[in-house]
């Protein structure tokens, strides 16, 4: 187990990732979620400096930013229910809303004040008749002087200096910062780096290749080549192993697709470069599995003992691995989610296996389904393995083990063995199989490229906005939101409210729960050091504290300080690493059962 990435670190990495390159327009959405105020201020201050120094346009959406962050902005766009309630300089926003009759109290942050407008909470700021709904605010804004200045600035033509600035900055910028081959090489290095870091995956695939290779080889150990059933069985098992190994990568391909979507929109790279890099990154694992599994199977099962036969066998396994890797990559990018991709991949495995010519021979497949036989890469792979075995010169004879096949069946021993499974007997079918596998690999990658380039980006979900939101009524308004702001207005049309404040029932209430005091003392949490197997990293270092009933305790700290780790340790959510120290509930040790029954954990 290794130390993970905190929420704040993830936010900062994503911000840096999307800022990569010469982007003249930067759009950032809710970047302050999960960040402390100091980090938020640093990030937005940096973006402001970049905008001023490099002439960039930066648009950031924030929900109730603190005052020091709000003061960094030049302009403000205030939205509600899809309407623009204000769009203009930040310095004029308060004076603008004072006109319709809304004053920001001294104790209220400007951002909080603005967010409340157009909602049920705006009553506390009203000093006279004022707009109620977001549409009324939008109508009032369109009649303002600020809106007229904004409209004039938009519709006025650019002056000569602005045209010159556009020609220097915009027209000269290439669509992509790297060439096709440079981008493909960069992406391939990234994929290979990720592959080399995932030692668990690499070691598990090697162990699986060794274990299944020995297991299957012992099952078909030194098979009798006269029994073509055993040879076809061994070929089917070998090809099926390759398919199963590649199908296990569907979740990884789906995860890669999500990264692609995020990075392709800002033109980090070409889609073709990404597809090529993803394809080439599968080569090392395919070579490793082919060499380990194929070598064990070939020599222990007793296939034809020639160098050319062995090399052709290894080449076939490698191509089959790459073809099905490309096939499952295509399914991962064309399916909407992992569940659908897994279901379709299993269905395709089933169809390819049933109509491969092994489970059901070619002559027994119904005519309306024979097309599956001819398009299945599994069919061409098994046929090529069988032809590679039985077209060897040692089997291209009439008499074999005192049986004259030419006299008895009118064909050689190799041709007879292949004919039992309706497999073509000519040697050129081996080369056709190689060509078909290469063509299928290219086709699947082109299909994946087409989907990623033209069809992969989902449209935003359809949202239904309440066009006539009536914030002037008390419907849907909690009592405390309305009453604590002010008393009901003295209007005859106003709904009568019956409010009970501060009335206590004299009857004693019987509590059906026991208040719990949480205490933790000298709490340590350690995970293994990924760079040194004999050492560990302490994420919590002797933390002690308590929380009392009828109180709210704030757990504060900068990003990466260990807040989430401490909560997870107390709530029993850490399944790895080493935990030391005492966690007490009402003075008793907190067992797993007590933690599950007495606590709840909610993280952002």
pLDDT tens readout for residues 225-273: 777 778 888 888 888 888 888 888 898 888 888 888 888 877 888 889 9
pLDDT band for position 304 (cuts 50, 70, 90): confident
Read off the pLDDT band of 493 (50, 70, 90).
very low
CA 487 to mean position of chain CA atoms: 50
Tell me what pLDDT residue 322 has.
93
Asked if 412 and 405 count as a contact pair (C-beta separation under 8 A), the reply is: yes
Q: What's the pLDDT score for residue 319?
A: 93
For residue 449, name the pLDDT band (cuts at 50, 70, 90). very high
What's the farthest any 2 CA atoms get from each other in the chain? 114
Q: In this predicted structure, what is the pLDDT of residue 130?
A: 60
Model pTM?
A: 0.64
CA pair distance 405, 496, nearest whole angstrom = 104
For the record, the structure tokens of 391 come out as 């077209």
Alpha carbon 31 to chain centroid, angstroms: 18
Scanning 266-396, the segments in alpha helix (DSSP H) are 271-280, 283-301, 307-334, 338-354, 370-375, 377-390
- How many C-beta neighbours within 10 Å does residue 449 have? 20
Cα three-residue angle 21-27-28, rounded to 5 degrees: 105
pLDDT of residue 137: 74
pLDDT of 488 reads 42
Query: Residue 450: CB partners within 8 Å, gap ≥ 6?
Result: none
pLDDT tier at 521, thresholds 50, 70, 90: confident
Angstrom distance (rounded) from CA 37 to CA 113: 19
Q: pLDDT above 70 covers what percent of the chain?
A: 81
| Rounded distance between C-alpha atoms, residue 206 and residue 211, angstroms | 9
Looking at residue 173, what is its pLDDT?
62
Please, which pLDDT band fits residue 122 given cuts at 50, 70 and 90? low
Kindly indicate the confidence band of residue 402, based on its pLDDT and cuts at 50, 70 and 90.
confident
- Tell me, what's the pLDDT at 445? 93
Across all residues in the chain, what is the average pLDDT?
78
């Amino acid at each position: 187990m290794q130390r993970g990435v905190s929420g704040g670190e993830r936010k900062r990495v994503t911000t840096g990732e999307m800022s990569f390159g010469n982007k003249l327009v930067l759009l950032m959405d809710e970047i302050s979620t999960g960040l402390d105020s100091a980090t938020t201020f640093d990030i937005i201050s940096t973006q402001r400096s970049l905008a001023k120094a490099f002439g960039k346009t930066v648009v950031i959406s924030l929900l109730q930013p603190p005052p020091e962050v709000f003061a960094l902005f030049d302009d403000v766009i205030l939205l509600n229910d899809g309407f623009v309630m204000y769009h203009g300089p930040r310095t004029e926003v308060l004076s603008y809303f004072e006109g319709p009759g809304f004053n920001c109290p001294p104790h209220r942050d400007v951002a909080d004040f603005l967010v409340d407008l157009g909602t049920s909470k705006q009553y506390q700021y009203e000093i006279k008749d004022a707009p109620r709904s977001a549409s009324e605010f939008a109508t009032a804004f369109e009649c303002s002087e600020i809106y007229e200045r904004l409209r004039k600035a938009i519709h006025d033509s650019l002056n000569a200096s602005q045209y010159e600035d556009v020609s220097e900055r915009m027209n000269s910028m290439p669509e992509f910062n790297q060439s096709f081959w440079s981008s493909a090489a960069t992406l391939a290095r990234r994929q290979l780096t990720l592959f080399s870091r995932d030692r668990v995956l690499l070691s598990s695939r090697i162990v699986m290749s060794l274990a299944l290779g020995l297991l299957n080889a012992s099952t078909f150990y030194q098979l009798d080549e006269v029994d073509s059933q055993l040879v076809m069985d061994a070929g089917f098992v070998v090809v099926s192993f390759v398919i199963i190994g590649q199908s296990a990568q569907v979740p990884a391909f789906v995860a890669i697709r999500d990264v692609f979507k995020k990075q392709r929109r800002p033109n980090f790279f070409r889609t073709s470069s990404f597809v090529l890099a993803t394809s080439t990154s599968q080569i090392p694992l395919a070579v490793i599995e082919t060499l380990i599994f194929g070598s064990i199977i070939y020599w222990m099962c007793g296939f034809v003992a020639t160098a050319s036969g062995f090399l052709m066998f290894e080449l076939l396994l490698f191509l089959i691995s790459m073809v099905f890797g490309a096939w499952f990559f295509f399914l991962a990018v064309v399916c909407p989610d992992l569940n659908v991709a897994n279901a379709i991949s299993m269905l395709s495995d089933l169809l390819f296996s049933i109509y491969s010519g092994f489970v059901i021979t070619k002559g027994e497949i119904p005519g309306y389904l024979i097309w599956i036989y001819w398009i299945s890469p599994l069919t061409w792979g098994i046929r090529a393995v069988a032809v590679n075995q039985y077209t060897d010169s040692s089997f291209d004879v009439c008499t074999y083990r005192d049986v004259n096949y030419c006299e008895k069946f009118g064909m050689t021993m190799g041709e007879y063995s292949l004919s039992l499974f309706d497999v073509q007997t000519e040697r050129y079918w081996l080369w056709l199989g190689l060509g078909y596998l290469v063509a299928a690999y290219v086709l699947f990658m082109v299909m994946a490229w087409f989907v990623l380039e033209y069809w992969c980006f989902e449209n935003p979900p359809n949202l239904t906005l309440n066009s006539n939101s009536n914030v002037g009524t008390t419907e849907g308004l909690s009592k405390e939101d309305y009453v604590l702001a002010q008393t009901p207005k003295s209007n005859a049309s106003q709904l009568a409210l019956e409010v009970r404040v501060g009335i206590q029932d004299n009857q004693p209430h019987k509590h059906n729960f026991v208040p719990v005091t949480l205490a933790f003392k000298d709490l340590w949490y350690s995970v293994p050091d990924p760079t040194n197997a004999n050492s560990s990293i302490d994420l919590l270092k002797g933390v002690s504290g308590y929380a009392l009933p009828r109180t709210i305790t704030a757990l504060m700290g900068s990003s990466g300080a260990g807040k989430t780790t401490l909560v997870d340790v107390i709530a029993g959510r850490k399944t790895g690493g080493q935990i030391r120290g005492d966690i007490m509930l009402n003075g008793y040790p907190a067992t797993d059962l007590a933690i599950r029954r007495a606590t709840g954990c909610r993280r952002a």
